[in-house]
Amino acid sequence: MNTEEMYQSMKLKLERVVPDVELRIKAELAVEINRLKKERNAVILGHNYMEPALFNSIPDFVGDSLELSRKAAQTEKDIIVFCGVKFMAETAKILNPSKTVLVPSAKAGCSLAASITADDVRALKKKFPGVPVVTYINTYADVKAESDICCTSGNAKAVVESLKTDTIIFLPDEYLAGNVARETGKHVIFPTQGMGNLQFDTTLDYQMVGWNGRCEVHDKFTVQDIKNVREQFPDVIILAHPECSPAVVEASDYSGSTTAMIRYVKETKAPHYLILTECSMGDNIAAENPDKEMLRLCTVRCPHMNTITMEDTLEALKQTRYVIEIPEEIRAKAFIAVDRMIKIG
Ligand code: 13P
Ligand code: SF4
């Protein structure tokens, strides 16, 4: 595709959400990225949170964490460029040790991944011996390596149910644990901080042991936000990612992974939708559904996902940066947990 063709194809999808002057610049960038992608035998995976111009031009595949893990597992290309955050690129490397995996920004972290260490998991396993550890994919490789199985927002319930045990350790998202507990009818206990030590009230009836990690974005949505929006738009349908608090999820009309929310809007017909997740995804849904009104709370943004730009993706391909490296003994252990999850379907 030449620049004019790229511009026309982007315009077709994005003219209502991206100003024309920006589209022309992004089209030029997209052509250069796609040329280098071919030259370097690379594949670009784009998370649903990528900004509209990037999302609609350079990825070979877009999706949620689960779908992109599957694509990463299947690729034949030499280089995987992950337009998402570091833990996602690490998952691609865990599944493809012989390939070069790049993340375009060195700053693309995640508050959930930063909330727990491998030492924390080892301490929990010591406190609850023999209890299987389920770890959210939003964690780093060394934490995954200490786990029995991973899960994403798209399969957390299925993964928990697949274990067929009375008790599990579910890390590190406190809210996802609460939402899974609600869906599966389990009780969850969380640590309390005391005298520098983590303590659990194990006298309580519990089937899940959680951790106090939170997504800094989804943590900010409140039940009051939902009440305010419903008052202003009584016919609104509200969708909340399961990283939102259980109270917010309960007050919403639908909860699911980023792809599940995209699908829900596509397949239903309501006058207004409010998506409680990273704002760019609202732009992408609005672009795909010109007949539907999307409401967004854009004061809440993911500072990590928003460091991924087309300019940096071009530099990533030019300079082969930033390369994901994982020590082999950690990668091999983490592979078992990720692969088990992928096999669950
Ligand atoms: P999904 O797996 O639903 O795409 O979510 C990833 C994420 O980081 C949401 O904040
Ligand atoms: Fe992490 Fe939250 Fe950003 Fe997702 S939205 S990458 S969970 S900080």
Q: Which of 74-88, 127-141, 200-214, 231-245 has the lowest mean pLDDT?
A: 200-214
Token pair in block for residue 157: 């319930």
Name the residue of 215, 280, 306 whose CB sits within 8 Å of the most ligand 2 atoms, as the mutation to test its pocket. 215
Q: What is the pLDDT of residue 199?
A: 86
Token pair in block for residue 120: 């924390």
Residues 90 and 12 in one domain: yes
Residues 312 and 289 in one domain: no
Q: pLDDT digits over 138-178, tens only?
A: 999 999 999 999 999 999 999 999 998 989 999 999 999 99
Last residue within a domain, chosen from 214, 246, 280: 214
Residue 295, pLDDT above cutoff 80: yes
Residues 55 and 67 in one domain: yes
Residue 256, pLDDT above cutoff 90: yes
Across the strands, what pairs with 3? Answer: none
Would you give the end-to-end CA distance of the chain in angstroms? Answer: 35
Residues 98 and 35 in one domain: yes
* Mean per-residue pLDDT over the chain, rounded: 95
**Ligand with smallest separation from the Cα of 86:** 2
Residues 201 and 264 in one domain: no
Q: What is the pLDDT of residue 197?
A: 73
Residues 209 and 222 in one domain: no
Q: What is the pLDDT of residue 92?
A: 96
Q: pLDDT digits over 47-66, tens only?
A: 999 999 999 999 999 999 98
Residue 205, pLDDT above cutoff 90: no
- In which domain, by residue range, is 272 found? 218-295
pLDDT bucket at 206, cuts 50 / 70 / 90 = confident
Q: pLDDT digits over 14-29, tens only?
A: 999 999 999 999 999 9
Q: pLDDT digits over 63-109, tens only?
A: 999 899 999 989 999 999 999 999 999 999 999 999 999 999 999 99
Percent of the chain whose pLDDT exceeds 90: 90
Ligand 1 neighbourhood includes 148 CB (under 6 angstroms): no
Name the residue of 91, 139, 175, 243 whose CB sits within 8 Å of the most ligand 1 atoms, as the mutation to test its pocket. 243
Residues 273 and 287 in one domain: yes
Residue 240, pLDDT above cutoff 70: yes
Number of domains the chain contains: 3
Q: What is the pLDDT of residue 196?
A: 64
Q: What is the pLDDT of residue 23?
A: 97
Residues 201 and 265 in one domain: no
Instruction: List CB contacts of 120: < 8 A, sequence separation 6 or more.
Output: 143, 198, 211
Q: Which amino acid is at 229?
A: V
In a domain, 223, yes or no: yes
Residue 6, pLDDT above cutoff 70: yes
Residues 82 and 158 in one domain: no
pTM of the model: 0.96
Residues 117 and 77 in one domain: no
In a domain, 131, yes or no: yes
Residues 155 and 201 in one domain: yes
Ligand 1 neighbourhood includes 258 CB (under 6 angstroms): yes
Q: Is 192 helix (H, G, I), strand (E, B) or coil?
A: strand
Residues 9 and 104 in one domain: yes
Q: CA 272, CA 285: separation in Å to the nearest integer? A: 12
In a domain, 327, yes or no: no
Q: What is the pLDDT of residue 166?
A: 87
**Ligand with smallest separation from the Cα of 108:** 2
Q: What is the pLDDT of residue 194?
A: 63
In a domain, 337, yes or no: no
In a domain, 335, yes or no: no
